[in-house]
Amino acid sequence: MEEKVKKTVNFAKSGSGSYTPKTNLPMEWVKDMQISKENNKILMVYDREKKEITIKKLSE
């Protein structure tokens, strides 16, 4: 089943004056993917043509 949620991207200013984009993932999704503090490796893929970001959990 596909779930969708609208989120915002926040921009945190660093000490050097540059900005870092950040967003939060729904905890329900993170738990469902079995991502934890100990098992927290993910793969992010950006498709320039589709303008889409995909996040996948990396296998141990």
Establish if 41 belongs to a structural domain.
Answer: yes
pTM of this prediction? 0.79
Strand, helix or coil for residue 47 = strand
Establish if 14 belongs to a structural domain.
Answer: no
Establish if 5 belongs to a structural domain.
Answer: no
Establish if 13 belongs to a structural domain.
Answer: no
The model's pLDDT over 12-57, given as tens digits with 9 standing for 90+, comes to 999 999 999 999 999 999 999 999 999 999 999 999 999 999 999 9
Angle (CA) 55 59 50, round 5°: 25
Give me the number of domains the chain comprises: 1
Domain span at residue 47 reads 24-60
Establish if 2 belongs to a structural domain.
Answer: no
Establish if 39 belongs to a structural domain.
Answer: yes
Establish if 30 belongs to a structural domain.
Answer: yes
